[in-house]
Amino acid sequence: MVKRMTFKQFLFILPLLVIIAVFSIYPIVSSFVYTVFDYRIYDQQYSSLYVSSSFNPARFYENCDYIVYYLQDEATVVDEAGKAEIQAISNEISAFMAPYQNQTQNQTLSGPEAEKIESFIATIGQRLNTVYNQYPNAEFYHQEDMPILLEDMQKSFIQPNFSGISNYQRLFKDARFWGALGITALFMVVSVSLEFVLGMALALIMNKAIKGIGLVRTTALIPWAIPTAVSALIWMYMYDGQSGVVSNIFAAVQLIPAPETMLSTFWGMVGSSIISDVWKTTPYMALLLLAGLQTIDRGLYESAAIDGSGTVNTFFRITLPLMKPSILVALLFRMLDAFRVYDLLYILTRGSLESLSVYAYKLMIGQGYYGYGSAVVVAMFACVAIIAFVFVKVLGAEVVGNDE
């Protein structure tokens, strides 16, 4: 019978729930929200979430101020008539921009207000072109800058960047996304498979009651204790095409055509990444499996030995079946962790080998495409959820015990 939580017990875990809501649930919800917007942090027109049209007065005022400042230079290369016209343009701009000084918040404009500003920008552009055309031989200082400033003034009108499901539709057409998904799946399947086989062997060794087993267990866990970033740097030096120990050994035994191919070819980078990950995380897999081994009643092995069961038969008939819960949990944890791999690949291959995490990082941090990058992150979340569902609901992995 499962006991219900009392109100006092709930108050004890309330601070934990608040922390989880702030640092876990809020980022997840934000990611989902970003996916329905064309959100780009390096573009002022898309640097926030806009569901309706608005006007950026600060940007408009800044561009007007630049034009007024540049016109002072332009007036020095024309005659008196030209100076008078330039001064008139400058005065008109100064008067028009004055109401927008010190306004930092975006505004929602009415139709007539927006048309008035657009008409003003077009008129100023025409008058400036007239001045420049009247003096074709004058060496103006900012003739090429004026069209850019006028275009930037037009961008003060911010259009809504709500995109609906277009980011998700883009995913299905993005060959780079599918390539990153394939690399991620390949890395996960191969590395976790090798880690399971090697981890099981290591766990069986560490489960033996032999002299010095404590030292063996401690030594085996050293790779897992090394931070992933440090581990990646170590292996990067060992894969180096000139002085790398591992790459030169592989080349000497003809596993690879040349030492430099370890980190310069696609399959070389895949293989080197898998080897590095297997070396680091096999001890973790062995530790999880060892915990399962130690729950098996030793009397079962003694009975099997009396009945004449061999080592291999005992392993497949007793050890593996009884270790199923531990195996499923170990595989689940490692597959979820391997699917989200980022630091190992980014450091080891300098971002050349793109997993989904690396691709999302490049989109969001490198290029500022938070909208589409968040869609990639949500796709990762969906894949992770599917993996967890298969293990927990289909295969019956018990991640959390339920004591009745």
The pLDDT of residue 180: 94
Give yes or no: residues 62 and 181 share one domain. Answer: no
Average pLDDT over residues 273-290: 91
Half-sphere exposure of 126 (CA within 13 A, CB side): 6
130 within a domain of the structure (yes/no)? yes
Full domain range(s) for residue 14: 1-34
Average pLDDT taken over every residue of the chain: 86
pLDDT value at residue 119: 92
* CA distances (Å), origin 378, targets 30, 36, 356, 402: 11, 11, 11, 30
Q: Using the 8-state DSSP alphabet, how is residue 50 labeled?
A: -
CA–CA dist 387, 383 (Å, integer): 6
Residue 182: what pLDDT? 94
Could you tell me if residue 50 is inside a domain? no
* pLDDT of amino acid 186: 95
pLDDT for the residue numbered 212: 65
- Are both 3 and 62 inside the same structural domain? no
Kindly report, residue by residue over 45-84, the tens digit of the pLDDT: 788 887 878 888 988 999 999 999 999 998 988 888 889 9
Asked if residue 377 is part of any domain, the answer here is yes
Q: 317-376 pLDDT, tens per residue?
A: 888 888 888 888 889 989 999 999 999 999 999 888 999 999 999 999 989 999 999 999
Q: Are residues 180 and 154 in the same domain?
A: no
Residue 86 has pLDDT above 70, yes or no: yes
Same domain, 330 and 266: yes
- On whether both 25 and 135 belong to a single domain, the answer is no
Task: Report the percentage of the chain scoring pLDDT > 70.
Answer: 96
More confident residue, 286 or 8: 286
Which of 158, 189, 205 is where one domain is finished?
158
pLDDT band at 404 (very low <50, low <70, confident <90, very high): very low
* Locus of tokens 């709930």: 10
The region of weakest confidence among 16-30, 174-188, 254-268 is: 16-30
Domain boundary (112, 135, 158) is at 158
| 5 within a domain of the structure (yes/no) | yes
Same domain, 228 and 97: no
Classify each residue of 202-225 as buried b or exposed e, where b means 16 or more C-beta atoms within 10 Å of its C-beta. bbeebbeeeeeeeeebeebeebbe
For residue 16, is pLDDT > 90?
Answer: no
- Whether 100 and 148 map to the same domain: the answer is yes
Q: Is 49 within a domain? A: no
The token pair at 186 is 């390949």
Check residue 280 and give its pLDDT: 92
Residues 6+ apart with CB under 8 A from 119: none
Tokens read off for 327: 């195996």
Tell me if 200 is assigned to some domain.
yes
By percentage, how much of the chain surpasses pLDDT 90? Answer: 35
Whether residue 403 has pLDDT greater than 50:
no
Strand (E) or helix (H) holding 104: none
- Whole-Å CA distances, 386 to 368, 375, 383, 392: 28, 17, 5, 10
Could you say which of 158, 178, 203 is where a domain stops? 158
How many Å apart are CA 366 and CA 25, to the nearest integer?
25
Average pLDDT over residues 200-210: 81
114, 239: one domain: no
Higher-pLDDT residue of 192 and 240 is 192
Could you give the number of structural domains in the chain?
3
Report whether pLDDT(257) > 90: no
Cα 261 to Cα 265: distance, rounded to the nearest angstrom: 5
Confidence of residue 297 (pLDDT cuts 50, 70, 90): confident
Structure confidence by residue, pLDDT tens digits, 126-164: 999 999 999 888 888 998 999 999 998 888 888 888 888
d(CA 279, CA 265): 21
pLDDT over 80 at 399, yes or no: no
Question: Is residue 263, in this structure, part of any structural domain at all?
Answer: yes
Tokens in use for 135?
């003096």
CA angle, residues 315, 320, 321, in degrees to nearest 5 = 120
**Same-domain status, 257 and 380:** yes
- pLDDT confidence tier of residue 400, bands split at 50, 70 and 90: low
Residues 147, 224, single domain; the answer is no
**Higher-pLDDT residue of 342, 28:** 342
Q: What is the band of 401 on the pLDDT scale with cuts at 50, 70, 90? A: low
**CB 279: neighbour CB atoms within 10 A?**
18
109 and 240 in one domain?
no
Q: How far apart are CA 24 and CA 150, in angstroms?
A: 44
What confidence score (pLDDT) does residue 302 get?
76
Q: Can you give the CATH number for the domain in which 251 is found?
A: 1.10.3720.10
The encoded tokens of residue 319 equal 């050890």
> Is residue 47 situated within a structural domain?
no
Alpha helices in 226-364 (DSSP H): 228-238, 245-252, 266-293, 298-306, 311-314, 320-322, 324-339, 343-348, 356-361
More confident residue, 208 or 378: 378
Residues 79, 198, single domain; the answer is no
